[in-house]
Amino acid sequence: MVNNPLIQRYRYSALRPKQFWIYVTIYISIILLMVFINYSSYKYQTFFKDITKFYESLYYQFLTFQVIILFIWSTYNSGSAIKEEILNKSFDFFRMLPLPAHKKALGILIGKNLVVLLFGTINLVLLIYFGLAGAININLQGQILMILISITILVNSTSLLSSINPAQKSRSSGIVLILLVVFFFVPMMINAVVALSSVDELEHYSVYFFKIKIPILVVISLVALYLSCWTFKGILRRFTHEQEPLFTREGSLLFLLGYIFIVVGLYYTYIPKEGPELIYSYWLITLIPVLLIPLGSLRDLDKYIEYSRFIQSRPNSRKTGLVPIVMYSNPALSIALFVIWTASSIGTAFFAEYAAMKLGPNLYNIFILLTCYLFLVLLLELYVVYKPASNKIGLLLGFIAVLYVILPLILSAIFESDIIYLYSPAGFIVSLFDYSNFNITIKTSFWLMNALFCVFPALLIWKRYNYILTQRQKM
């Protein structure tokens, strides 16, 4: 680890005395100021009942400071490394470094955060001391330490993964991200720490994972570490196969299966005890990755052209057959993801054994969701196959997708109608929780409307697939 040249490189720049002492001065000043303000309040204003409450207050204040250091400062450092290489026109040199992908990743994640790790370690020692002096439960301190480490790994690896985009030439998206963090993430984390300090015996608050009772902070930590493994694998893939999609086909399916396994484990104990609303909330939570994973596994038009050459080079292959292209396409993966989601959704409905969760109506609801999903998938594929012909087509198709989802909601509010909003995918999902006014006629007209919407983009995509094969035959 010490011999990693990237760590050595960042060490020389980050720990230069003239720069390092600025950080040290700021850090020591903040610590002394926090201690001085709290001690003055304890000594002269009687804000604390006794010295134990004084140390308890310092513990949670330094915990907030630790969150800012580990979640904000380190995340910014990890996300800025690749952007700095691009802006300094040294990214090609970084690519050619004779280092394995995992050493490059660790070199950035550790090397860029050497100062953060140093201050975080010092802060951790102070946290332990204040926790012991403030009579904070040892078990709670251990769980908090675990969640700090796991979420730090997750946010840093995610930040690095999202920054690996060689086509990006400006800092604009980074500035937007910083503003979002400052105005939303920081207040949220501070509120979480405040809430943490006000909950009694949080270390004993547990949830079930299948039949195992686990403290909730430990569950959050384990889930964060699991997701960190996937983000780190994504970093390795980006460094190794820069022009490939983030997910392979097998990786997409495995990620969804792992995600469903975790959600099922958290729902398992509670499903038989609750009503149908819990099942529909499970549907919604597990549907989210089905919508997002295709974005990280898109094959572009060049991949289709390469695959068409592979098809036509095979012996006894049909030169004009479109079936292999369709099976290779992005919609094929999306349908496979939806099939997995359908199987898990029907399985939970059977497991619940509610009288209201009948197989026929629920299969019909899933079919309607499939028609909504297909339309969005076809819009995405339309973007893929026509992007080389028009750079602005993504803007148009994105506008159509947003309009498809929110226009019925807007019209429903304008006309004060309880029917129009049901023709939006969002409105349909809401109706699953309260379906008193959602009859079979509305459902049928909704999926017929979706089917009609799918016809035009499907024809355009089919035409583009034919164009790919035709162009390949001319080569």
Binned at pLDDT 50, 70 and 90, residue 438 comes out as low
251 or 271: whose pLDDT is higher? Answer: 251
Q: Give me the residue spans of the domains in the chain.
A: 1-244, 252-475
φ, ψ for residue 206, nearest 5 deg: -125, 160
Q: Which range (41-55, 159-173, 365-379) has the least confidence?
A: 159-173
Binned at pLDDT 50, 70 and 90, residue 468 comes out as confident
pLDDT tens digit string along 34-43? Answer: 988 888 887 7
Residues 434/435/436/440 CA torsion (nearest 10 deg): 180
385 or 312: whose pLDDT is higher? Answer: 385
- The mean pLDDT of 185-199, rounded to a whole number, is 62
* Residue-level pLDDT at 294: 93
Helices marked H in 241-300: 249-267, 276-292
416 pLDDT exceeds 90? no
393 pLDDT exceeds 70? yes
- The mean pLDDT of 267-295, rounded to a whole number, is 87
Average pLDDT over the chain reads 85
Provide the β-strand partners of residue 337.
Answer: none
Binned at pLDDT 50, 70 and 90, residue 395 comes out as very high
Whole-model pTM: value is 0.86
* Residue-level pLDDT at 227: 94
Helices 74-87 and 138-163 cross at an angle (nearest 10°) of 20
Write 268-276 long-range contacts (CB < 8 A, 24+). Answer: 268/208, 268/209, 268/210, 268/211, 269/208, 269/210, 269/211, 270/208, 271/348, 271/351, 271/352, 272/351, 272/352, 272/353, 275/354, 275/356, 276/352, 276/354, 276/356, 276/357
Binned at pLDDT 50, 70 and 90, residue 173 comes out as very low
150 pLDDT exceeds 80? yes
343 or 169: whose pLDDT is higher? Answer: 343
Q: Do residues 344 and 260 lie in contact, with contact meaning Cβ atoms separated by under 8 Å?
A: yes
* Residue-level pLDDT at 169: 47
180 pLDDT exceeds 80? no
